[in-house]
A and B are shown apart, each in its own frame.
Chain A
């Protein structure tokens, strides 16, 4: 049972993470984010960010074109729905395979260069994919209009097994149709699997190799290691994560649009990772949740909501406060997010996770007896990680 062999600390991380994810519908209720549509997005983009972090956090290769794999995953899944069956499993399988193949080709070409040149190459490939999806391949992608299910779709396997139902079918798993929170728990289960795999990679010799690439690739090459296959494997794995996320987007909402592949979408996952903390396990997930929360909840605030929120203030103050703060919510949510991003990068270069660590360190200093005892233990674990 080597598969489930993890250091105790990782098991605790995993357990806590699972608890947080499973109880999301409860603790997000007071924040106004506890509805299936957004919870599914939380789980899906967490997968996307975790996958991106395997490449960026471990090898240091900054890909600026990861949204391409997300889009490829979505298109593949929707085509699987249209042509074969509404079952989610084949759709996810095909999406992961196809996006993995895309990642193999793009990664093979892009990994010939490092640093900024690698970033530009991936960006160029992603923009190519976007433009292909947007205009050239319109018969396959339906361009700006987005690919959707129609009543005329063949759905070969489904129509062979049962009579066609009236109306548009929904994605299902072994004939069970997801509704609302079930869709979220399906995504959450996959998120936990994805997180577990990431844990394994982080603590494996393979992960060690990827970290070595990040710290000094030239030295690795001089000592006789060929680093390219390792970097390429990391690239493909992270592309498959993106494909899985794209497939889940299609499973929870059977629609695929070209804007999913745009460079802004690629930039978003970079933001998520940096905001949360590059190279940490939990950081990218927190970053993804924060950005999705802002995009969906903050952008829906309007002046009426603000007026209600600030109603405890005296009326003469309420109006200017509402006027000023309304610039930062609604359409202005990008502004707030930008400000937070600047603050995090300036004061917490390691992302939100660094903030968490600093707060943790503060508490540890107040309990002197245990602190010295814990310190020497850490270096012995280090090499194993």
Chain B
């Protein structure tokens, strides 16, 4: 190689180099100049407003993602004046008229977050940078919610989290631009504790199998605190990877561990697999420490109950919402959803739908899409008529406070969708806690140009 010296002359090298420098230096300004004209990122200019729906269409939580997708289709239809309006007529705020948001027609763009933080941020960036989404919503995993929430804070785009149950989402990782309607693991613990104490007694030894990420960790901690307050003992927890598929290696040691309650901190397909396998191992027919062996799944949904089938019967858990609730709003939403998709909505669908409506309403009340104003409209907002009774969006941590349902798998389902029954309701007052216990800072609400 050193033999050939007949390269380009010094002059032509310098010329090419200069051209390159000029091209790299000038090009960026050409492409970003238009964007600087906006006072905030993705301000809707035409007669439409774009919302990004980012949900898992593949991965361990894909069932929930598919149901969120349906809910968003329904929400867009109702906001634009189609269908029967769902929960818009029952909503305590009467700003939504079925003419979109602030008179602009709502358009949705979708993306697959693959239940992975990296993929979710890629997908959200595409919606923000290419499609011009003014708000991002969706997600079915807390690690995804926390990752996307961080991105949205940076980009100045409001994030309305859908299914995320970790304490960290509105705790140590809370963000000014992130809002959560769903309840959290801490509230599950408060609601579930007394019911478990009554059903299984005060003298139990619990064995935790925990999904190894933020949600699993915080749920394990919350349930541990709640049950230890009853007098239960807790063995060292075992962490399992998300999407493990086969849980037999984690379940085998449980029966000889001296525990008499198995607590499954799993969700989605993971919970379906681990619960089914645990039941197949005959755990529920066993005796341990002279008591019947029991299984508890602190967070359950209709979709999981459907997946687990008969294994779910008699199992206790908590839910954010259930389609069999008898208030007007829940009935209207279930009717509307059932008419369009031929099945009742899950709690994932419910929270996704409600979050979209709440954002639309906040824009209407603020009279603008300007994020700092919309954030102010949502913070400390008290509303009703969206299926959970009176609800507060707390300003300090952007967490919603409402009643929490304690549910149990039905022994004799009347129909394929009649899977869970509500056995107790923890009042909003009882599940309200001091925001300081989880730490974290919301950060500033300054608008960001993009």
Chain A interface residues (CB < 8 Å from chain B): 2, 4-8, 11, 15, 18, 22-23, 25, 32, 34-38, 41, 134-135, 138, 143-146, 148-151, 166-168, 170, 179-182, 185, 188-189, 203-205, 208, 253, 255, 257, 259-260, 295-296, 299-300, 302, 330-331, 381, 384-385
Write the nearest CB–CB distance from B58 to chain A, whole angstroms: 5
CA distance A167 to B1 in the complex (A): 53
- Is B428 engaged at the interface, CB distance under 8 Å to the other chain? no
Q: Is the CB of A179 within 8 A of B150?
A: no
Task: Give residues of chain B (49-63) contacting chain A, Cβ–Cβ below 8 Å.
Answer: 57-58
From A23, A144, A253, A381, B143 is in contact (CB under 8 Å) with: A144
Closest to A14 in B: B16
Q: Which residues of B contact A381 (CB under 8 A)?
A: 4
A4, A144, A260, A296: residue with the most chain B Cβ atoms closer than 10 Å: A144
Q: Which residues of B contact A299 (CB under 8 A)?
A: 111-112
CA distance A168 to B443 in the complex (A): 8
Q: What are 5 A-B pairs with beta-carbon distances under 8 A?
A: A146-B143, A170-B154, A180-B28, A180-B31, A385-B1
Write the nearest CB–CB distance from A48 to chain B, whole angstroms: 14
Take A35-B126, A203-B1, A253-B121 as given contacts and tell me if A4 and B13 are in contact as well, using a CB distance cutoff of 8 Å.
yes
From A135, A181, A330, B57 is in contact (CB under 8 Å) with: A330
CA distance A295 to B443 in the complex (A): 33
CA distance A70 to B240 in the complex (A): 24
From A35, A189, A203, A331, B24 is in contact (CB under 8 Å) with: A189
Q: Which residues of B contact A8 (CB under 8 A)?
A: 6-8
- Is B151 engaged at the interface, CB distance under 8 Å to the other chain? yes
Q: Is the CB of B147 within 8 A of A255?
A: yes
CB < 8 Å A-B pair total: 156
Q: Which residues of B contact A181 (CB under 8 A)?
A: 27-28, 31-32
CA distance A296 to B3 in the complex (A): 45
- Is B214 engaged at the interface, CB distance under 8 Å to the other chain? yes
Q: Which residues of A contact B16 (CB under 8 A)?
A: 15
From A134, A143, A185, A253, B28 is in contact (CB under 8 Å) with: A185
Closest to B450 in A: A180
Write the nearest CB–CB distance from B28 to chain A, whole angstroms: 4
Take A15-B16, A135-B241 as given contacts and tell me if A35 and B125 are in contact as well, using a CB distance cutoff of 8 Å.
yes
Closest 10 CB pairs of A and B: A37-B125, A144-B213, A35-B129, A35-B130, A145-B214, A146-B117, A167-B443, A166-B444, A181-B28, A145-B143
CA distance A326 to B24 in the complex (A): 39
Q: State how many residues of chain B have any CB contact under 8 Å with chain A.
A: 58
Write the nearest CB–CB distance from A158 to chain B, whole angstroms: 17
Contact with A along B72-91 (1 / 0, CB 8 A): 00000000000000000000
CA distance A108 to B6 in the complex (A): 39
Q: Which residues of B contact A167 (CB under 8 A)?
A: 153, 176, 443-444, 446
- Is B5 engaged at the interface, CB distance under 8 Å to the other chain? yes
Q: Is the CB of A36 within 8 A of B7?
A: no
Chain B interface residues (CB < 8 Å from chain A): 1-8, 13, 16, 20, 23-24, 27-28, 31-32, 35, 57-58, 109-112, 116-118, 121-123, 125-126, 128-130, 142-143, 146-147, 150-151, 153-154, 168, 172-173, 176, 212-214, 239, 241-242, 441, 443-444, 446, 450
Q: Is the CB of B4 within 8 A of A257?
A: no
Closest to B146 in A: A145
CA distance A384 to B126 in the complex (A): 45
CA distance A18 to B150 in the complex (A): 34
Write the nearest CB–CB distance from A180 to chain B, whole angstroms: 6
Write the nearest CB–CB distance from A27 to chain B, whole angstroms: 12
CA distance A155 to B118 in the complex (A): 24
CA distance A7 to B4 in the complex (A): 7
Q: Is the CB of B117 within 8 A of A257?
A: yes
Write the nearest CB–CB distance from A353 to chain B, whole angstroms: 22
CA distance A35 to B27 in the complex (A): 14
Q: Is the CB of A22 within 8 A of B23?
A: yes
Known pairs A11-B8, A144-B212, A181-B28; list 18 more (Cβ under 8 Å): A23-B23, A38-B130, A135-B239, A146-B117, A146-B118, A148-B173, A150-B172, A166-B443, A167-B443, A168-B153, A168-B443, A179-B450, A185-B27, A255-B118, A299-B111, A300-B109, A300-B111, A330-B112
Q: Which residues of B contact A4 (CB under 8 A)?
A: 7, 13
Q: Which residues of A contact B117 (CB under 8 A)?
A: 145-146, 255, 257, 259
Write the nearest CB–CB distance from A325 to chain B, whole angstroms: 17
Write the nearest CB–CB distance from A165 to chain B, whole angstroms: 9
Q: Is the CB of B118 within 8 A of A180?
A: no
Write the nearest CB–CB distance from A346 to chain B, whole angstroms: 27
